[in-house]
Amino acid sequence: MKIETKTAHFSAPLYLESGRILEPYEIAYESYGELNKDKSNVVLVCHALSGSHHAAGVYEGERKAGWWDGLIGEGKALDTNKYFVICTNVIGSCFGSTGPMSTNYTTQAPYRLKFPVVTIKDMIRAQMHLLSDLGIYHVRAIIGGSMGGMQALQFGVDYPNFSDDIISLAATYATRPWTIAFNKVAVEAIRRDPDFKHGNYEIGAFKEKGLDGLAIGRIAGHISYLSPESMDDKFGRNYVNNDGLFELFGRYEVERYMEYNTNNFSRIFDPLSYLYIVKAINTFNLSRGYDSLHEAILRIKATVHLISFSSDYLFFPAEMQQIAKMLKRNGQAYTYKEIQSDYGHDAFLVELDKFAAHIKEILQ
């Protein structure tokens, strides 16, 4: 599988939904497979909160494959023998695209909290600029899960003629208070950590030890991504062998897992980027800019494929069903599939075998 990782530079302004302007800016992206002559075999992959443009394959010197490696590649659901698959890093992120720790050209210092708030609409507008720059004006499909699924749906609404199929997994039509409340734990934990310094920390300050506030906030995120059943199966009530049961800070295996994963995450992910991307998720609402959700959905011309997961407690299946009901009532082309899973929201990243064949069928 041919893998290329590049960064595109844009000097033309990106007009944001807030009314502010971002210029210049950069977008990091990765592509897999070969673009055909008429550029009709493009599949755009959109990533979730903690993801990046590295969706598949393994970088030289690293063992961990891209976050959807099981879905992208030769003979897989997103078959790189047939399709030119491209995944971009969203603006606001910390993995190569312009974000809050990028240099503001007017001050020659990092934006930090002066970086403008970006929305899902802004993210896809930036991606449209990139694709246009690559001479791609229509794609075969757009696919993503969670925040990536939000982007896929937003593409369908804002750019109705751009894609043949929209495939949205584990997403919603608007972020509800339950999810915003989970996100609030992370936001406040980061803001109240003294080492956060109101966003004025040094570049690379947390590479070795991480930021405690982000680690604590990420625990709340992990709880929302999993399900009680998946935790029972994975950990049970097993206790860490070396920790005494009657020691105050002795731990169950689930506690050790949370500590290990969230501490690692806080060394990799920039806390300001986390705050900005969480804000984009919280403000997501397909109907914003239109008279109603019905009007927004009615704009979609692509065939919409909705995939939810029965144990998803972050974006409940009922939220995807609501979109499906509107599409059905409008006589628009769609499919809806609820995957039976005990894994929770993260099933779209883990239980690929339960929906890979369905995606392959859609694309055929």
Positions annotated as catalytic residues are: 146, 312, 345
Coil, helix or strand for 243? coil
Task: List Cβ<8 Å contacts ≥24 apart for 268-271.
Answer: 269/50, 269/94, 269/214, 270/94, 270/99, 270/100, 270/101, 270/206, 271/190, 271/196, 271/201, 271/206, 271/211, 271/213, 271/214
The sign of the torsion formed by the CA atoms of 346, 313, 154, 363 equals: positive
CA distance 232 to 198: 38
Cβ of 131: how many Cβ atoms within 10 Å? 22
Expressed in angstroms, the distance from the first to the final Cα of the chain is 20
Per-position b or e across 160-176, b if 16+ CB within 10 A of its CB: eebbbbbbbbbbbbebe
Residues 6+ apart with CB under 8 A from 349: 48, 67, 68, 145
Angle, helix 212-225 to helix 253-268, in steps of 10 degrees: 120
The amino acid present at 315, given as its one-letter code, is F
Angle at 156 between CA 154 and CA 159, to 5 degrees: 95
Angle at 308 between CA 318 and CA 72, to 5 degrees: 160
Residues 6+ apart with CB under 8 A from 351: 309, 339, 341, 343
